[in-house]
Structure 1
Amino acid sequence: MRALVQERFGGPETLPLRERPMPQPGPGEVVVEVAAAGLDAGVVHLLEGRPAMVRLSRPGREGRVLGSDLAGRVHALGPGIEGFAVGDEVFGLACSGDGSMAEFARARADRLHRRPDTLGAEEAAALPVSGCAALHAVRDAAQVRPGQRVLVLGAAGGVGHLAAQIARADGAAVTGACSTGKVELVRELGITEVIDHTREDPLERGPFDAIIDTGGHRPLRRLRSALTPTGALVIVGSEPERAIAGGLGRSALAGLLNPVSRQRLVMLFSHESQEDLAALLDLVEGGRLRPTVSARYPLERGAEALASLGRGRGTGKVVVTMSEPW
């Protein structure tokens, strides 16, 4: 099979298209014939080895296939699989090392869900990682309730555009902040109050009951000043250039301050499960959530797709598709 194989830490040029043996499913695993693979900034971090702790925690990346989000068709079943059959159309998350930027990927059955006909393969591939992060940010970390005022910073990004929709679906009055060229996209999501952060500081519209920061660099003190006295700040990500901690500095400080603050200051650690995928699918089928796929690249141009991500450049989701249409 063909796959984009990581040969070393570095830029997209270190990710050539290679022939690779077909992955084999272990107990509780399946092999998925990939139709589309969703990308996110986390894949770029693993490719480049940033922050530096990534290189220490994930040595020996050579020869591995990156990518987690996928949609496709079950090709083979490992021992002990129930609930899936060969030929089922699914979406979910690939296993580490045999990732989704390939024609076939290995996946744990408990991190897959059947894909309904109402959800296209490309949209489904855009959901798992970013969708689960958005779901946990809104419902678990921020604990958004109907009638609350919620600010989403980076409301056009991979996680942000989903978080804004989920908060709106849960009854919040959502303010979305983004750059000039992304304002219309956020409005199309149904977010009526959209702020161009290059022209106005969205924090001036506070106080907010919750702020979900999906990629800004504003100081923690400034973010907290825009919250109500018992509001919640959820830091999902950050992409500052040349930061030693790779954007984790504010999150770590939030974790230290949270025990002594009336405000809830959360460094989001997201996870993904079949139950989370089911919750996202419920929102999609109810017409309350729709992932935006902003760009599609064939597998042969997967390195180019990764080059378009990270450092706040993203709009919606980018997907890599296989050569054969589904």
Structure 2
Amino acid sequence: MRWRLPFFLICTWALVNGSFAKPNVPPLTTTLTVASWNLQWLASDPIIIIPPPPQRTRADYQQLAHIATQLDTDILAFQEVADRQAIEKVLTNDEYVFEFSRRQQESQHNNKRHTKPWPQFVGFAIRKGISYVRNADLHQLDLRGNKSLRYGVDITLLNDGKAALRLLTVHLKSGCYSQQQSTKNRACRQLNRQFEVLEQWVDRRAAEPLPFMILGDFNRRLTLHNDQMWQQLDDGRPTGLSLYAATEGQKSQCRIRIHSKHKKHRKIRHYPNFIDHIVLDERAKQKMVNNSFRELTSDVEVVKAFNLSDHCPITLSLSL
């Protein structure tokens, strides 16, 4: 396993309630890799819904772990993970620290059936040795405040004890993938309101001196021509704000196995337009390694043989 982070450092690492230990060594310029991956109902216990999510075997987890090894990322923004036990089968806790949204903890103390959230949580896997601070979750993405929609998880990476890069991971409302769908669609109304929340977060970050990124499953084909929700997010305000989607100009090669509602089997599908994105502000874009964006795909025979995910991981590198 290659190790790229003498820059992100440290001989001494600690995180308690947002506090951190200042490194004892000077920072060195190097490369940081970040990635996003929706792991599709990754859970240690079976989940009963219709259509049923993949019931994974040990071999399935081993294949997911093999993909994670190939990905070899320093920071993974994950979505649809139910619990630590499940993700530790994909990424070992010997190498990573896991930060789940507070919504996961809150759901464990919620016995009301009508407000109990589905076990789809977002978070970060952070390679040990990277210094960071956990910021407050973007819980406003849960529009009604009843834990029915997923929170965003917000962290700040540190360099020599100083803030260097802010990262937010999200998993937004599904069902409004493009402008062809009616704005009267309930999912579209909710997604539009979530983008208003996201825009407020972006505006606050743009007024600060720190570069920032948003990673995750936006459930929206943002890079299609003149997408209204993208234009809302990248509106040039505050003055000078400029956002860049690393998926711009890219086509997904991801093949997935999905459940057919009309036939009692699963089939292979390909969706060429990304709904998972890595969004950078101009300051973060300037640190992006040229041509480093990639999508990690699996051969069709592997997709047929294992219960993987209905998303492929995407990744890029930054020079910091």
Fold shared, TM-score > 0.5 on shorter chain: no
Question: Would you tell me which structure has more helix in proportion to its own residues?
Answer: 1
The two structures have a TM-score, normalised by structure 1, of 0.26
Report the TM-score, using the length of structure 2 for normalisation: 0.27
